[in-house]
Amino acid sequence: MSTNQEVIIQGLGVSDGLKIGKVFVYKTQSNVEVPETQAQDVQAELALLRAAKAESITELEALVAHAERTLGEEKATIIKGQISFLNDPSFYPPMEKLIETDGWNAATAIQKTVNQVAGMLEAMPIEYMKERAADIRDVGRRLASQISGDKGQRLSDIQEPVILVAEDLAPSETVQLDRQFILGFATRVGGKTSHTAILAQSLGIAAVLGLGDAVDQISSGDLLVINGSTGECIIHPTDETISKTAAQMKVEEETKLSLARYANRKAVTLDGVHFEMAANIGTPEEAEGLLDKGAEAVGLYRTEFLFMSRNQMPDEETQFKAYKAAAEALKGKPVVIRTLDIGGDKELPYLTLPHELNPFLGYRAVRLCLDDKPLFKTQLRAILRASAFGNLKVMFPMISGASEWRQAKALWDETRAEVIAEGHKVADKIELGIMIEIPSAALMARTLAKEVDFFSIGTNDLVQYTVAVDRMNEKVAYLYDYFHPAVIRLIKEVIDASNEQGKWTGMCGSMAGDPLAAPLLAGLGLHEWSMSSGVIHKVKRIVTNLDHKACQALATRILELSTPEEIRAELVQFQANIKFD
């Protein structure tokens, strides 16, 4: 029997996971205000401040290196930003001035400056600015701790599994959390868009932020349940709550296990037909661990994120590193790189594109790349150089017919010869394919199949262009359906065309990851299915319990149907009759 009353408190669930464990109340490096004090010796205080800045930069650089290893380069830039604050003319020089001109000591100068800068950001009505204030206070605490010598508790001292409870966890602290010992964490402040939330998700640590004053009711050693998806925390759980939580955790664990069971199986039908299951990725970090999630390949690597996440065009070296990392993470399994698909709804901050009335029918993807040859060639060079480190394939987006494909292919051949002539190692054979997302390309598939190595059907755009519907427009969104019979006929046409020439067809739109569509796609003979890595096990569960011949018969029946509703009904009925092992 617990002597304490069970208390349920509510925060913001920002990183999934249901956890129960002993609380460790973590005191952040002293957040307390120091009394304002005049300097005894101005030169000595200046020297202290300079040393504190140098030491802070050294510490942050070590943290950046750690974050790059555990979280990837992208996330490490959050910490890098703190270094740039230390070098900003509005941050460090005012501190020196407060000592030199106003005679304050170093600790006071830091406190005054941090309060002033962070205070201004906090006063702005923009969430993003308030979050940057947290970064300023984080770096300010680090500076102050160099002078006071009070570095707070060290997270690395925690050597048993605990749930961390704190006022706030700064980004620089979050990156140090070790999943082995930190079951989850709960804090008084923080929001869904904070860097801390983003980092917790990347680390896979359950987190509830923004508990407010309720956090005062939690002490070190208490038993605590935290639910990172609902944001609910239970202090002093009763025996009943504990067993209920344990049961729920068991269910979650079992679901995970059953998923793992399917994830590790090959997608082979009961009668022995294998389909290749692949994943869509946007960054090379996502390629890490994909093989464990059951992916046999990357069917779509969206390179535009590399371009969208920065303020200037990524140079050849930056691109080369990213493509090489993805190739290496897949250990020889295929990675299909899609060349830059920008324009339409995806803009680049540093590439000014004219405003268009119909951006989806306009200057985008391969159209833009063929027009801006230096941009396109830089990407092709980076891919060619990375090809020596794995099994890369390349596809061009938004191809409408043979001439665009031929132009892209010619530029590829030219670039390849140049890269080889410069002495770079390039893979002997790199398959080249095209995205099928424009109906004209689908209808020309029989011609195109003679020239390309593969097709990849992008269902999201293909549906939009075939049915002439903008799915963002709520009034017509009901028309947006990949089970439209016209779309299915186009898909069949493309797969058949590739089969005739001994080529293969993949699919990288959301249809490929829809368990309901799986029997139809199997029946049509789709070779490679590329989807979000989180759903691979669901599709495998279906495919491994299918009879391929029955799927072919299903596909034949479906091609006779005339509306999306009839097709869905047929698929739902088929699904209901699948016997799962």
Partner 1 sequence: MFSKEVEIVNPSGFHVRPAQLFVELAAKFTADIKIQPQGVEMQIDGKSVLGLMTLGLAKGSVVQISATGADAEAAVEQLSALVASGFGEI
Q: Which of 463, 470, 494, 456 is nearest to 564 (CA)?
A: 463
For residue 511 the two structure tokens come to 């249809």
**Neighbour-count burial of 360, counting CB atoms closer than 10 A to its CB (0-12 exposed, 13-18 middle, 19+ buried):** middle
| Shortest spacing between CB 189 and partner 1, in angstroms | 21
Q: For partner 1, which is the closer residue by CB, 351 or 370?
A: 351
Given the complex with partner 1, which of 78 and 183 has the nearer CB atom?
78
Interface with partner 1 (CB under 8 A), residue from 62, 65, 129, 572: 129
Q: How far is the CB of 347 from partner 1 (least distance, A)?
A: 9
Q: CA–CA distance from 359 to each of 8, 316, 341, 356, 436 (Å)?
A: 50, 28, 13, 5, 18
Of the pair 355, 475, the CB lying nearest partner 1 is at: 355
Q: Is 36 in the site for partner 1 (CB under 8 A)?
A: no
Smaller CB separation from partner 1, 92 or 376: 92
Shortest separation between residue 350's beta carbon and partner 1, angstroms: 6
Q: Considering the complex, what minimum distance in angstroms separates the CB of residue 77 from partner 1?
A: 12
* Annotated catalytic residue within 233, 369, 484, 508: 508
- Residue 297, phi then psi, degrees to nearest 5: -170, 170
Contact flag: residue 84 with partner 1 (CB under 8 A): yes
When the beta carbons of 350 and 478 are compared against partner 1, the nearer one is 350
Q: Which stretch binds partner 1 (CB under 8 A): 127-135, 160-168, 470-478, 543-551?
A: 127-135
354 is a site residue for partner 1 (CB under 8 A): no
Total residues contacting partner 1 by CB under 8 A comes to 21
Q: Give the nearer residue to partner 1 in terms of CB position, either 87 or 556.
A: 87
Q: Which of 189, 351, 388, 426 binds partner 1 (CB under 8 A)?
A: 351
CA distance 153 to 357: 57
Cβ–Cβ contacts within 10 Å for residue 238, how many? 14
Among residues 5, 32, 101, 128, which is the contact residue for partner 1, using CB under 8 A?
128
For residue 123, the minimal CB distance to partner 1 (Å) is 9
Q: What character string, x for contact with partner 1 (CB under 8 A) and - otherwise, covers 135-154?
A: -x------------------
291 binds partner 1 (CB under 8 A): no
**Which ranges of 157-194 does DSSP label H, i.e. alpha helix?**
171-174
Select from 5, 40, 101, 311 the one that contacts partner 1 (CB under 8 A): 311
**Cα–Cα dist 319/524, whole Å:** 36
Question: CA angle 489-493-495, nearest 5°?
Answer: 115
* Of the residues 8, 120, 247, 251, which one makes contact with partner 1 according to CB under 8 A: 120
Contact call for residue 357 and partner 1 (CB under 8 A): no
Counting contacts by CB under 8 A, is residue 121 touching partner 1? yes
HSE at residue 211, side-chain half, CA atoms within 13 A, is: 30
Three-class DSSP category at 570: helix
Q: Give the one residue of 204, 289, 349, 534 binding partner 1; rule: CB under 8 A.
A: 349
> What is the rounded distance in angstroms from the CA atom of residue 410 to the CA atom of residue 146?
59
Member of 50, 66, 112, 132 binding partner 1 (CB under 8 A): 132
**Segment interacting with partner 1, rule: CB under 8 A, options 210-218, 350-358, 457-465, 532-540:** 350-358
Query: Which CB atom, from 139 or from 380, has the smaller least distance to partner 1?
Result: 139
Closest CA to 326 of 392, 243, 423, 419: 392
**Roughly how many angstroms between the first and final C-alpha of the chain, as a whole number?**
43
For residue 100, the tally of other CB atoms under 10 A from its CB is 15
C-beta closer to partner 1: residue 117 or 508: 117
Helix (H), strand (E) counts: the chain:
22, 16
Nearest 5°: the CA angle 527, 532, 538 is 75
- Residues linked to residue 456 through DSSP beta bridges, in sequence order: 435, 506
Annotated active-site residue 484? The verdict is no
Of 35, 6, 488, 459, the closest CA to residue 242 belongs to 6
CA distance 8 to 6: 7
Whether 424 is catalytic is no
Are the beta carbons of 160 and 23 closer than 8 angstroms?
A: no
d(C-alpha 391, C-alpha 336), whole Å:
9
In terms of CB distance, is 49 or 554 closer to partner 1? 49
Contact 52, 143 (CB under 8 A): yes
Q: Which stretch binds partner 1 (CB under 8 A): 39-47, 117-125, 519-527, 564-572?
A: 117-125
Binding segment for partner 1 among 125-133, 198-206, 217-225, 257-265 (CB under 8 A)? 125-133
Mask of contacts with partner 1, 247-286, x by CB under 8 A?
----------------------------------------
What would the two tokens of residue 542 be?
């279906």
Does 101 participate in binding partner 1 (rule CB under 8 A)?
Answer: no
Q: Give the other-Cβ count within 10 Å of 220's Cβ.
A: 11
What is the spatial distance between Cα 274 and Cα 361, in angstroms, rounded to a whole number? Answer: 37
Amino acid identity, position 2: S
Classify 262 as helix, strand or coil.
helix
Counting contacts by CB under 8 A, is residue 90 touching partner 1?
yes
- Looking at the Cβ atoms of 128 and 580, the one nearer to partner 1 is 128
Stretch that binds partner 1, among 122-130, 294-302, 420-428, 467-475 (CB under 8 A): 122-130
Which residue in the set 24, 26, 91, 320 belongs to the binding site for partner 1 (CB under 8 A)? 91
210/218 Cα distance (integer angstroms): 14
Site residues (CB under 8 A) for partner 1?
A: 84-85, 88-91, 117, 120-121, 124, 126, 128-129, 132, 136, 311, 349-352, 355
Q: Catalytic residue numbers? A: 195, 508
